[in-house]
Structure 1
């Protein structure tokens, strides 16, 4: 078989380059944070098991989650070390996309909420102990059938009886049924965090989290009802619709934290501002959850590019004047794969910035950090959707088989773009907050594109920064146009798409800045060169996306805009000799991903999976 190879490099050069890239991709913390999680994925429990029903695949995800729990430590330790939490989100979905969802709900949303609002509560030892030992899994029940992103308006109610010291948890109507949480496998013990409207002494005090045992070894508890949701492609988890019929919950089940108190006579008194502020306080796990979502998306994006590149080195095609050659030698294939590679690196570095900022804040998430996390989540999941879809296409029919992983990643990303806040809604909210903030410092002068080489990194940063600021000023001006009589909603609707473009551009600018910073931190010469080429490819791809805007503003010349496609094309043969080392910077191997088309001999590997026996 003919295999496309890069020009010969000095012995050990590839390994040195890849090691330096691993250091940068995993932000200098690979050995402490990631290595042992990666090592667990080689266990046979993660070997492919074809032919499972959706229920069997879901039960397997629970089995694999228990294995990871046994190997990597209890949720109490992982939640206390957010870097480990993010890494746990990053790796398992490479092999089982359902495990990510299961672990992140249990570790981050459910156990994290208990840790944030029930710390030191000895009266919860039995429930917390079951969650920490994984004797029970922890669904997180927030979204209702009629209430998605507006969770603060949900209708499930917990009515307090002062005399008995007990809440009655109830679902008042069909719209208030809890939706999508894991309640379908009634034979698996579950202790859930349920968000419900706390009512006491005839007053509605807003939404609070409650810790509720919903099933045990005998099935669903009295008064708890569940029905399975329709099947989802690939992901066989037990998503369900859950409702409560006057379920008694002892007062200890309220995860009150610092959001209220009971007086000696049993009167409930909320604290910490109004109901909205208390609700936001109860949702402390959303920000780390968004970083977990980005981690999983980027982990899948890395694997898809790694698999597609290895396959492209071996997949033979016809060529003019040649009998056959590997498809990676075609420039059209290079541009697709290398653009995806550059995007994965860009989002990895943007995510690292978000994780560093969150860790430094020690849980005190201010408006700037909230904006960074939201933009990172939206941009990374959108861009990884594009990356994974493109890599599936570039692998042809092989990309459609679950055995080759990428098709499963497509399904994963379809879920992630709406997880922890639908991207469009999340980015619109963030954009509105950015518009409401006064900009400090004078506006930068329009960059003079004609005075720069189009490959100049300084020009890329200047162009993106200029576009972000110009879109912001345009949106603010439109919002505050007093010459037109209209409602606030009309004003916002009229400028929303401009604001969304501004917020997206902000994310791209930050990613490019982090990319250039990584180039500066690289120690290996080939790593430096490879990253610089990928940074240019990513930035120019984004600039090309809005080339008409830059041309209309006069910050790029007509000749530069016309030349952009050729410039992108010409980067590809410069990246090709370093492509394998750049892909190995993700710390993946054929043995880990177990995708036949990523094997050293994909024909033999696929034959083993398909049980082919061609005549000799």
Structure 2
């Protein structure tokens, strides 16, 4: 068996070539450069002097700067790839901006565009010029992941040909939309049950002006919520007391059209399908949330790798100073996360392409992949940013270094547009129940011990075998679960089913990685990516080596060489850490020093070799010269 990419990285890998592959710069709708240039402007730099309210207002000012770059904001809302690219660059810049942009362009403006009214064409100018910001009110205090059961009502009045929007109980108040007066006038799309007479037609969206610059409209109550640890945005409780809405406030399409007599015509047979159609923009929202968190992971790695090379500590010889990056204990976790981030970036690109070109035939499969991608990326991004913050020590705690708030902002992405565990569980059940069972694989009686763990094809197939093992295990658990109790039966199979879904997603990421490797003819870059993909696969497979050994896919010799292969891969990749992060094209690769206090306090070393060196600040050259001159 061949051993592709097992040799050393000869020549110089180019960050530019890596960037081309990461950001699809040859694609038909490349827009990453536009957003990178935008967030590079001074208006997007961190200001430590703002209060929470001022920071929220700043996010809305920045939203207008985003809008100023657009010739036609409607085109952004219609283009999932360009919309996701925006979130990759604003996510690490401003969590509140990322939230507001996702809501305005995708959930609000996108939903309006998806439900045109041929009889009463809407004037979208207030929303495309951002004289009026859009927001989206679906989740209620008592209804989150079960939003299809929400209680807000919109009664149709056939005599006056309008609706009455009402919040019937305290638990029906809309929970956490950005509806405060901060940021100027706002209009909402409110999810409510359409009621005609005594008949409930299910959940639809209603266009509802909320307030002017100064006060809410009559019948609307807006109560600010306490600050969260996530993105800084104006979360509120919002309720409606018999608010009158015009007939054209209802967003209609073939999934539901209201006749003058109060009857409803729909091509969908049940309330759940109508609800899912009404909030269909949540699917694109999942791509936006995973894109924003992916950008945060890349930003955290850029800062942490820069710190690892500029922060010096005591070396093995008297007076010697060496960068933190020289220590395997420091750089190995960063390299592991770099491998994961590259894999997940390529997965996200593949998922967007599949969504952009999906057909009715593969729509369900595509939406499942989007859900799996969102859960996998956002969870991984949280782990990556947490580790990167830790690798930066105390300096990583300062917001001006652009890393302290990332994990909290990612928490918002984990919950938004479908809680990760819920959407992963749904996808796992679909994989288990609707995907054809994977054909059984008959392993050889004796796996070849001479097949090296550096062989990407071999490693990729091991991951496919892992998915098959867990898929079979989940099916067996489902069959063996208690009968006549669906909940307990699913509980019996759920742990194995979730692992099946996770390994399935990891396999999709691997295939996306391997496909990308084939898209470069630059040999040093190709070799570097092969080593990085190998590291991703070795780390992914390590928890499953027991199963692979038991099922005759691995030989004991492989288990003995796993650690040394991983260790050698770390050694090979270490000199290229900076190149790998330079390819991320972070607009502010060297964080600025703190602006408060104006003059840094004198630091007293707390131990041997301890010294002051902010993230991104190079060690004092004179100090290094003195250290080199000392006798060894």
Normalising by structure 2, report the TM-score.
0.89
Give 1:545 deviation, angstroms: 2.4
In the TM superposition, 1:445-484 aligns within 5 A as: 445-446=442-443, 448=447, 450-481=449-480, 484=482
Cross-structure match for 2:375: 378
CA contact (8 A) 1:197 1:208 kept: yes
Q: Does 1:22 align with 2:19?
A: yes
CA contact (8 A) 2:95 2:232 kept: no
Number of residue-to-residue matches in the alignment = 593
1:58-89: CA deviation from partner (whole Å, max 9, x where unpaired): 11100111111112344312012222111111
CA contact (8 A) 2:339 2:533 kept: yes
Q: Which moved more, 1:471-480 or 1:403-412?
A: 471-480
Match of residue 95, structure 1, among 87, 93, 96: 93
In the TM superposition, 1:246-285 aligns within 5 A as: 246-285=242-281
Cross-structure match for 2:105: 107
**How far apart in 2 are the matches of 1:363 and 1:306?**
40
Cross-structure match for 1:577: 575
**How far apart in 2 are the matches of 1:381 and 1:163?**
49
In the TM superposition, 1:195-594 aligns within 5 A as: 195-233=191-229, 235-321=231-317, 323-361=320-358, 366-439=363-436, 442-446=439-443, 448=447, 450-481=449-480, 484-589=482-587, 592-593=588-589
CA contact (8 A) 2:9 2:527 kept: no
CA contact (8 A) 1:18 1:585 kept: yes
**How far apart in 2 are the matches of 1:349 and 1:119?**
38
Instruction: Check 1:558–1:203 CA distance in 2 against 1; reply closer, same or farther (3 A cut).
Output: same
Instruction: Check 1:517–1:141 CA distance in 2 against 1; reply closer, same or farther (3 A cut).
Output: same
In the TM superposition, 1:55-204 aligns within 5 A as: 55-118=53-116, 120=118, 122-125=120-123, 128-185=124-181, 188-204=184-200
- Structure 1 segments unaligned to the other structure (5+ residues): 1-6, 597-604
**How far apart in 1 are the matches of 2:276 and 2:559?**
46
Give 1:562 deviation, angstroms: 3.9
Give 1:51 deviation, angstroms: 2.2
Cross-structure match for 2:599: 611
1:136-182: CA deviation from partner (whole Å, max 9, x where unpaired): 11111010001001111000110111100111101111111100100
1:506-560: CA deviation from partner (whole Å, max 9, x where unpaired): 0111111111121221222221111111101111001112333323333223342
SS of the residue corresponding to residue 151 of structure 2 reads coil
Normalising by structure 1, report the TM-score.
0.91
SS of the residue corresponding to residue 585 of structure 2 reads coil
Give 1:362 deviation, angstroms: 6.7
**How far apart in 1 are the matches of 2:54 and 2:522?**
47
CA contact (8 A) 2:74 2:109 kept: yes
Give 1:217 deviation, angstroms: 2.4
SS of the residue corresponding to residue 226 of structure 1 reads strand
CA contact (8 A) 2:528 2:573 kept: yes
Give 1:607 deviation, angstroms: 7.9
CA contact (8 A) 2:290 2:373 kept: yes
CA contact (8 A) 1:191 1:212 kept: yes
Q: Which moved more, 1:438-447 or 1:490-499?
A: 438-447
SS of the residue corresponding to residue 244 of structure 2 reads strand
SS of the residue corresponding to residue 219 of structure 1 reads coil
Give 1:383 deviation, angstroms: 0.9
Instruction: Check 1:36–1:225 CA distance in 2 against 1; reply closer, same or farther (3 A cut).
Output: same
Instruction: Check 1:186–1:269 CA distance in 2 against 1; reply closer, same or farther (3 A cut).
Output: farther
Instruction: Check 1:377–1:446 CA distance in 2 against 1; reply closer, same or farther (3 A cut).
Output: farther
Instruction: Check 1:475–1:169 CA distance in 2 against 1; reply closer, same or farther (3 A cut).
Output: same
**How far apart in 2 are the matches of 1:326 and 1:607?**
26
SS of the residue corresponding to residue 159 of structure 1 reads strand
Give 1:301 deviation, angstroms: 0.6
**How far apart in 2 are the matches of 1:367 and 1:499?**
18
Instruction: Check 1:438–1:260 CA distance in 2 against 1; reply closer, same or farther (3 A cut).
Output: closer
CA contact (8 A) 1:66 1:134 kept: yes
**How far apart in 2 are the matches of 1:364 and 1:354?**
16
CA contact (8 A) 1:225 1:243 kept: yes
Would you tell me which structure has more helix in proportion to its own residues? Answer: 1
